[in-house]
Structure 1
Amino acid sequence: MAVLAVVSVAGPLADDRVLVGAPIWAKPLKFSVSFVAYCLTLAWMLQFLTRGRKLGWWAGTVVASTGVIEMVIITGQVIRGKRSHFNHQTPFDAALFNVMGLTVAVLWLGTLVVAVLLFRSGIADRAAARAIRIGAVLGLAGAGVGFLMTQPTPAQRRTPSGIVGAHSVGVPDGGPSMPLTGWSTTGGDLRVPHFVGMHALQLIPLTLMGLVALAVRIPRLRDERTRARLVAVAGAVYAAVLTLLTWQALRGQPLIHPDGATLGAAGLIALAAALGTTAVLRLPVERSGDERTPERATQPVG
């Protein structure tokens, strides 16, 4: 994936074609970078397994293998100048997209197996256990949003065109979009919650690592229970944000043009985050002989 990312960056130098309103090599670049982050994080999480290590190894191998199949099809379609996603224009294109749908489902199930094993493993540090498990669950939810994109749009039902499914809601794919991400600026875009949800896999554990780093200067964060509670607050807030972004996209609303309802919900989430964090920091610190030092909070055990 790392090599493919480099190739995708160099691709436009020799191939300036545009497909569905975006440089044709943008899709393999974004997918390869995303797979690098996803698989490296999953590999790091597998270190924490204390039970079912062999099953975890096989699940991780399945995730990596399905990712390779996915990228071979995406890159092959780029070379052909064809859409990889939602393409049913020819029997061959439809077969390729069906294979992609199958590999995504298998990848999701492989990640689910890892998540279940993480819940069954006895990770000694409560904050680390909570961060890893919450990140895995939210990552699965974010990946699941991708299945919403495979449904035909109302326009596609009225006028079949060989394209079945879309990431934009309320507007055709390929319209005005944000730089870098390519997310729609005129309608809803399911790629937003899909992206945010999947990368909870990295961001929730990174939140814990930030708390551990701050513990050097903030004594209150040296308490393992405090870190675990703050991770729970972060996970709840992240889940609320993911829900809000999905709701916003399904209403056909661009990320950068929220209406009053979206802003009101975002304000309530921010208030809940502030109140939850304050409540945790005001709880008394319970001292115990088995309290682990913050430096060990993200170290694998077993």
Structure 2
Amino acid sequence: MTSLGGRPLSGSAIASSAMYVVLRQVWSAVRPVTAQQRFLWWCGALLLASGAVHAVVAALDWAPWSGAVSWRKPVVFGMSFGVLSWSAVWVMRQLPVRRWGWLPASLLGTGSVVEVALITMQRWRGEASHFNQKPAFDSAVWSVMGSVVILVAFAVALFLVWSLVRFEGTPAARIAVVAGLLAILVSGYIGFGMAGEGEAVVDATGRVPDTVVFGAEGSAKLAHAVGMHGLQVLGLLAVGLGLRLPSARAQVRLMFLAVVGYGALFASVATTAYAGLPWTAPNRWPALIGLAGAAAVVAVFVVVARRLPLGIERHRTAVMR
């Protein structure tokens, strides 16, 4: 039993309170307050809703989850671009309001919606969305998708430069944002490598591959995904640290450890992929580096989680006041 605010709580009550505080903090972090942020938020909401709807369609259809033409793509890409748009709202919440902020916000929000819309349309048409070089329409769709991704990458680069030049959040959050945006750009580079590999397979075989690998069995998809979602992992930690549990200096140290750990994990997965090895059978040193990196990230999450009861007490006290 633990006492919060003079009233003893059971373990389940503490867990429920902790979850409530965390969800409240996350919502507060991504809640839009300007027109630019609202635009991004609604783009993200639309994409997340699309991903959820197509998850239901996939469950009802009983079609294969894998393959060049599957419901997996509308679901995964909808969810991924949706959380990216909401993560960008969190980033913009910590940047000064500028009129030209519409440029990265519009490019990211519109580009994400267009990209997912094209992927979704191709699935409903029964055609492959990626690497599809059939004459006329399908080839044009694939070409537009490639151009849109470049615009999204440009928007991410603008957010990165903006965060480096003028950031108004905590030092720990700034580290998370810069590292997360850098990881997305590296992930984009891997994605363009995947596009080249996929097109090479089409040229050689005349068919769109079910999946793209580097070398014999390198999981390009996993390496791309790990980089794409670093901003969410590190951002969640930054939100947890934003409860002001440890000192500002301790927050920076913890975030730095998490960034180094996540970077090590990302490097391990990417190195293994480019070596043409499956992620389940990496070479010795990449495996050790990846395990150490994952352990560091988990350790920081544990430190933040163990301090949550103190954050709950402070939250309750602030509300009572």
Query: TM-score if structure 1 supplies the norm length?
Result: 0.73
Query: Residues 249-277 of structure 1, C-alpha deviation per residue, up to 9 Å, x if partnerless?
Result: 12222222334343233356579x59x99
Q: Is the 8 A contact 1:208 1:231 kept in 2?
A: yes
> 2:71 is matched with which residue?
25
Q: Is the 8 A contact 2:265 2:291 kept in 1?
A: no
Within the alignment, does 1:188 sit opposite 2:218 as a pair?
A: yes
> 2:80 is matched with which residue?
34
| TM-fit CA distance, 1:78 | 0.5
Q: Is the 8 A contact 2:214 2:274 kept in 1?
A: yes
Which residue, 266, 274, 281 being the options, matches 1:257?
Answer: 281
1:198-209 superposed matches below 5 A: 198-209=228-239
Secondary structure in 1 matching 2:197: coil
Query: Residues 80-123 of structure 1, C-alpha deviation per residue, up to 9 Å, x if partnerless?
Result: 11110111133322211111000001000011111111111142
Distance 2:287 2:273 in 1: 14
Distance 1:61 1:153 in 2: 29
User: Aligned Cα RMSD in Å?
Assistant: 3.1
Highest relative contact order (Cα 8 Å, sep 6+), 1 or 2?
Answer: 1
Distance 1:41 1:224 in 2: 22
| TM-fit CA distance, 1:22 | 7.3
Distance 2:186 2:200 in 1: 27
Query: Residues 215-256 of structure 1, C-alpha deviation per residue, up to 9 Å, x if partnerless?
Result: 2xxxxx2x2122112212221222222111111112222222
Q: Is the 8 A contact 1:152 1:164 kept in 2?
A: no
| TM-fit CA distance, 1:41 | 0.7
Q: Is the 8 A contact 1:151 1:164 kept in 2?
A: no
Give the letter for the 2:87 counterpart. Answer: T
Q: Is the 8 A contact 1:153 1:165 kept in 2?
A: no
| TM-fit CA distance, 1:213 | 4.9
Within the alignment, does 1:225 sit opposite 2:249 as a pair?
A: yes
> 2:168 is matched with which residue?
123
Task: Give the count of matched residue pairs.
Answer: 255
5+ residue gaps, structure 2 = 1-46, 301-313, 316-321
Query: Residues 147-198 of structure 1, C-alpha deviation per residue, up to 9 Å, x if partnerless?
Result: 1101136973883415489532345xxxxxxxxxxxxxxx221111211111
Task: Tell me which protein shows more helix as a share of its residues.
Answer: 2
Q: Is the 8 A contact 2:51 2:75 kept in 1?
A: yes
Query: TM-score if structure 2 supplies the norm length?
Result: 0.69
Give the letter for the 1:151 counterpart. Answer: G
Aligned-residue sequence identity (percent) comes to 26
| TM-fit CA distance, 1:77 | 0.9
